[in-house]
Amino acid sequence: MSDNAKFVEDITDKDDDFSKWYNEVIRKAELADYGPVRGTMIIRPYGYALWENIQKLLDTRFKEVDVENAYFPLLIPKSFFEREAEHIEGFAPELAWVTRGGGEELEEPLAIRPTSETIIGHAYSRWIQSYRDLPVLINLWNNVVRWEKRTTLFLRTSEFLWQEGHSAHRSIEDAEERTRMMLETYRALAEEDLAMPVVAGRKSENEKFAGALRTYSIEALMSDGKALQAGTSHNLGENFARSFDIQYSDTDGQRKYCATVSWGASTRLIGGLIMTHGDNAGLIMPPKVAPIQAVIVPIWRKEEEKSAVAVLVEQLVKRLKANGVRVKADWREETPGWKYNEWEMRGVPVRLEVGPRDVKTNSVMLVRRDNRAKEAVPVEALDNRLPQVFGEVQKGLFERALKFQAGNTHEVSDYDEFKQVMAGQRGFVKVKWAEDTEAELKIKEETKATLRCVPLDQAGFTPGPSLFTGKPATGYALFARAY
């Protein structure tokens, strides 16, 4: 076995060591590598192409709800953070500071942005004068730095790419409507584009964003039974508006404070995609975001066979690209078997095998990555069949993940049973709950489980005692161990 072949095939079994499997898949599939500074990440072209596809889909969704893109500076004065005490307290341990510039000590330290609420607030206070200026709906595609102590590629790094949306509104009610709207945007992206089922809900007071009135999130369940927060939307109320004096003249002539909203999702979505769909052979990409949707593997033994195969492959590449398919022909000097393993590991949704027999019948052998099903497809039928297969793969991945989520969501009423689940198979644990930070922290201390969210969908809830405290429950809450 060649070194190349071993590199493709030698992936740790998910069930043996999930963390090692995850990191191996990222490195071997060339999604990312470690940067020279502790906790940083280099996103390689294949991984960046995946991020670009996610970015395009999300950006389109933003524009559909009237959000515009802008750019704000990387460096934020220390005094900005000090205006919102709860905000700086929440971020203080993660802030990175610039204290020298041009060889001299700076008069005021500058934070490398961990998020942009403060600098946005400063700008909005100058831009917004009247109710006619509202709402302001701005999104930033940028990088942020949070000095994390423990890091994992894509899931938690000291510097990462994301989008952060920031809006200003006439009332807290308007802000709440936008907060929920952006949460729904994330849900749609996760489920419809990434084929990753999520639960949308409100964060507890203990888990909400520093300085927020209310925080909402989408929570996904990874295939190791841990939860992943995949996107957040925050109703900031008037907190930041008061700190940064964001006021407007209303129709009654009165000066009033705006209500503001922020929302964000990051490259951790890539980590979620890997852990939701991947298997022991590597990645499985949903077709909507896959950098390469179809790979063509030419097969030949004799030189004259190669020439005939090459003609058909060239025709296929042109045909598929003309139809908007992200396609690649693999002419590398490796065996077909090696290439099959390579592209399976990289998660390409569909493989098209083209050999001498296929040339004679003017067809291709189509192989799906998700279930390895094979079918011979005439070339002229590909225009219709390939989009159908992409749709089937997309739908199949979502349904498989949704079935896993349902099978690993445990409704319990007894705390001992709760602890047993967390110590064993894990997953989402659904309990009757009343807001109680002290009880929440005690549960976290004893089980390492955190309250992921209070689901917006409370279907089936009946009154009863809250887990741990026995107080009258106000709704269901989801707990899980999480990334």
Among residues 320, 454, 307, 310, which one has the least CA distance to residue 377? 320
3.40.640.10, 2.40.30.10, 3.30.930.10, 3.30.360.10: CATH of 17-277:
3.30.930.10
* Per-residue DSSP letter, 427: -
Q: Report the alpha-carbon distance of residue 197 to residue 476 in Å, rounded.
A: 19
Alpha helices in 134-196 (DSSP H): 172-188
Confidence class for position 211, pLDDT limits 50, 70, 90: confident
User: H or E segment at 263?
Assistant: strand 259-266
User: Residue 4: its pLDDT value, please?
Assistant: 47
CATH superfamily of domain region 409-480: C-terminal domain of ProRS (3.30.110.30)
E-state strands within 299-339: 327-329
Q: Half-sphere exposure of residue 4, counting CA atoms within 13 Å on the CB side?
A: 11
Residues ≥6 apart with Cβ < 8 Å to 99: 105, 106, 109, 110
SS3 140: strand
Q: Report the alpha-carbon distance of residue 427 to residue 371 in Å, rounded.
A: 24
User: Residue 150: its pLDDT value, please?
Assistant: 87
Confidence class for position 89, pLDDT limits 50, 70, 90: confident
Contact present, 282 and 11 (Cβ < 8 Å) = yes
Asked whether the predicted pLDDT for residue 304 surpasses 70, the reply is yes
What residues pair up with 374 in beta bridges, in sequence order?
A: 367
SS3 134: coil
Asked whether the predicted pLDDT for residue 256 surpasses 70, the reply is yes
Report CA-CA distances (Å) from 389 to 39, 222, 281, 409.
39, 25, 21, 30
- Give the dihedral sign, CA 449/450/453/459: positive
Measured between its terminal Cα atoms, the distance across the chain in Å is 37
Read off the tokens for 441: 């922290």
Confidence class for position 5, pLDDT limits 50, 70, 90: very low
Look-up of token digits 């900005």: 80
Read off the tokens for 414: 């007894």
Across the range 460-477, mean pLDDT stands at: 97
User: H or E segment at 244?
Assistant: helix 239-244
Across the range 245-272, mean pLDDT stands at: 98
What predicted TM-score, i.e. pTM, was given to this entire model?
0.95
Q: What residues does each domain of the chain span?
A: 17-277, 294-388, 409-480
3.40.50.970, 3.40.50.300, 3.40.50.800, 3.60.15.10: CATH of 294-388:
3.40.50.800
Average pLDDT, the chain: 95
Across the range 50-56, mean pLDDT stands at: 98
Confidence class for position 182, pLDDT limits 50, 70, 90: very high
Asked whether the predicted pLDDT for residue 2 surpasses 90, the reply is no
Contact present, 328 and 295 (Cβ < 8 Å) = yes
- The reply to whether 294-388 shares the fold of 17-277 is no
